[in-house]
Amino acid sequence: MARPAILTVDDDPVVSAAIARDLRDRFGEEYRVVRATSGAQALDALNRLALQGQPVALVAADQRMPGVTGIEVLDRARELAPGSKSLLLTAYADTDVAISAINEIGLDYYLLKPWDPPEDRLFPVVQDLLDDWREEHPDHTADVRVVGDRWSERSYEVKTFLARNHVPYRWYDIERDAEASRLRDLAGAGPTDLPLVLVPDGDTLRSPSTLDLAGALGLPTRAQQPLYDLCIIGGGPAGLAAAVYGASEGLSTVIVEREAPGGQAGQSAAIENYLGFPRGLSGADLTRRAVAQASRFGAEIVLAHTVEGLDARGPVRAVRLSGGVEIEARAVTVATGVSYRRLPADGLDALTGRGIYYGATASEASQCAGDEVYLVGSANSAGQAALNLARFAARVVMVVRGASLEASMSRYLVDRIEAAPTIEVLCGRRVVGCAGDGHLESLTLEDASGTREQVSAGWLFVFIGATPHTDWLGADVVRDDHGFVVTGQDLLLPAHAGAWTLPRPPYALETSLPGVFAAGDVRLDSMKRVASAVGEGAMSVHLVHRYLAST
């Protein structure tokens, strides 16, 4: 890839020279800084860069310019440099205009002038925007290559694991791509060997397990220490927050995650109501930032292992993992979250992973280009997924069991769905049957009166309910009838008589096994929101400190 460009535009020659100088000093080794002193000049520069095939990572424009304003430049940049990040430099009096631009043109960030000192006010903002751009535009020269059948459940699992762990890969469909057949023949692979995973400078993997795949990619699959202060089970928002606060406060900390950091929130196309991000951010972006932050403070992450049990060994809590692996810690935070509930429909199990999916990552959305997609669910996660799928699919049909979306979805999402021309909402319906030869081909829908209708469908995404997976906790950790973990003062209720045995009362997030805490969606009566999960994860570390100080 040619060195990406950063375009700056300001009609004040002194300011224009200053910002270009600052950006060259800080980012000049990796990026080409192009300077313009008017909106018209900036548009000419964008035209020239497009003709040269030069990627544009960032456009930073002053708002108050005669002729062509900064917002007009950034609006045109969406066509001339698709995917570039946008930064508006503005005075305090223009903040209303900047906030409107977030909704109207998708402005990424606005920065009040002046930005001195740049080390504190300019560079961190620009660095974040450039990091996001790099994440969205990876260098594909060293990509992992995956050869398989798009209707194969194992191929789907491999692609999902790579995407959610931010490993760039190229996909070759054995039924559609001649290159896929060539690679299969070169590897001497048969049908049972698919998917093939070709790792640069590594051995070819044949239908690898998740653990084998993680090991081949150099992802962490083993703990580095014999004993930790804190072991966190689950790498969603609650677990990552606990890792950041635990490691930053001096606790030796390890996270165990079965699939990939981020949890259910990591699959969200957009989280628009998270404090401090007025434009919103994707679940993948939030996860990437949180993992980097936790790693910076020294937290370890162990991937691709399933937790099978939890034992109390005196003052130590032992977490038993698949493959006979164990991690010992003085305290444990359970942050395993929840997963989407299985859809009770005839024929569904045989087609899961073959056109029927729980949740949806960006890779699935892009593979639906030009197709008709069905989606079951009516909560915020379903709404965000529908809007994301609508960017690619010819038509998205939401199947909603209730009478309307309003009862379970935020108003801002309902408004956007109603305004989307390619999204149709079918209320009072449910999916009762699925059929297909090797992959999904049709669905059976039923309305409230019992009338059934069969529709053609190649894609179904399911976003219903919330089920915790907590059987591995054993009898020492009290759960309710649905598997949610009981914590704090709820342990003292008559319904759980005898669950708490110590003289002191349990800490707020503490389970019935002292030293084991629960945070986020897995906990009984939690709010089921990203912000509350992050708060509980941080709070659990405060309680861990109190517990460790008392033992």
Bridge partners (DSSP) listed for residue 206:
196
Mean per-residue pLDDT of the chain: 93
Q: Which residues pair with 327 in a beta bridge?
A: 319
pLDDT tens for each residue of 85-114: 999 999 877 888 889 999 889 999 999 988
What pLDDT does residue 315 have? Answer: 95
> Tokens 């000192």 sit at which residue?
117
| CA pair distance 198, 204, nearest whole angstrom | 5
At residue 419, φ and ψ (nearest 5 deg) are -85, -10
Domain chopping of the chain, boundaries? 5-136, 142-216, 227-339+467-550, 348-462
DSSP letter at 471?
G
Neighbours of 250 (CB within 10 A): 11
**Distance from the Cα of residue 216 to its chain's centroid:** 23
Cα gap 457→111, rounded to integer Å? 46
Tell me the two tokens of residue 211.
């653990």
User: Between 3.40.50.1820, 3.50.50.60, 3.20.20.70, 3.40.30.10, what CATH number should domain 227-339+467-550 receive?
Assistant: 3.50.50.60
Q: What is the CA radius of gyration of the chain?
A: 25
Q: How far apart are CA 528 and CA 96, in angstroms?
A: 32
Nearest to 69 by CA among 46, 47, 90, 55: 90
pLDDT for res 233 = 98
For residues 92 and 197, give the distance between their C-alpha atoms in angstroms, rounded to a whole number. Answer: 52
165, 172, 198, 435 from 150: Cα distances, Å: 20, 9, 17, 17
36: enclosing H helix or E strand: strand 32-36
Cα(449)–Cα(444) distance, integer angstroms: 14
Confidence at residue 115, expressed as pLDDT on a 0 to 100 scale: 85
Task: Determine the 3-state secondary structure of 77 from DSSP.
Answer: helix
Instruction: Enter the tokens of residue 304.
Output: 């691709």
Residues of the chain with pLDDT under 70: 1, 140-142, 362-363
Judged on CB neighbours under 10 Å (0-12, 13-18, 19+), 485 is: buried
How many residues are present in the chain? 551
Total Cβ atoms within 10 A of residue 74: 27
**CATH topology of 142-216 equal to that of 348-462?**
no
Do 505 and 492 form a contact (C-beta atoms < 8 A)?
A: yes
Q: CB–CB of 231/224 below 8 Å?
A: no
Q: Does domain 142-216 have CATH number 3.75.10.10?
A: no
pLDDT, residue 332, reads 98
What does the block give as tokens for 245? 């606060």
DSSP string for 80-145: HSTT-EEEEEE-GGGHHHHHHHHHHT---EEEESP--SHHHHTHHHHHHHHHHHHHHS--GGG-EE
Q: Which helix (H) or strand (E) holds 162?
A: helix 153-164
Measuring CA to CA, how many Å separate 16 from each of 6, 84, 123, 149, 232? Answer: 13, 20, 16, 52, 48
> What pLDDT is attached to residue 216?
94
**What is the spatial distance between Cα 383 and Cα 376, in angstroms, rounded to a whole number?**
10
The residue among 303, 299, 335, 332 whose CA lies nearest residue 225 is: 299
Tokens of 500: 């708490």
Whole-number Cα distances in Å, 484 to 220, 262, 310 = 29, 20, 16
Task: Determine the pLDDT at residue 538.
Answer: 98
| Residue of 156, 146, 150, 148 lying closest to 358 (CA atoms) | 156
- Asked whether 320 and 305 are in contact (CB, 8 A), the reply is no
Fold assignment, 348-462: FAD/NAD(P)-binding domain (3.50.50)
**Mapping DSSP to helix (H, G, I), strand (E, B) and coil, where does residue 163 land?**
helix
Q: Which pLDDT score is estimated for 363?
A: 65
So what's the pLDDT on residue 266?
83
Cα–Cα distance measured from residue 483 to residue 524, given in angstroms and rounded to the nearest whole number = 9
CATH of 5-136, one of 3.40.50.360, 3.40.1000.10, 3.40.50.2300, 3.40.50.720: 3.40.50.2300
The DSSP secondary structure of 307-358, one letter per residue, reads EEEEEEETTEEEEEEGGG-EEEEEEEEE----BPPPP--BTHHHHBTTTEEE
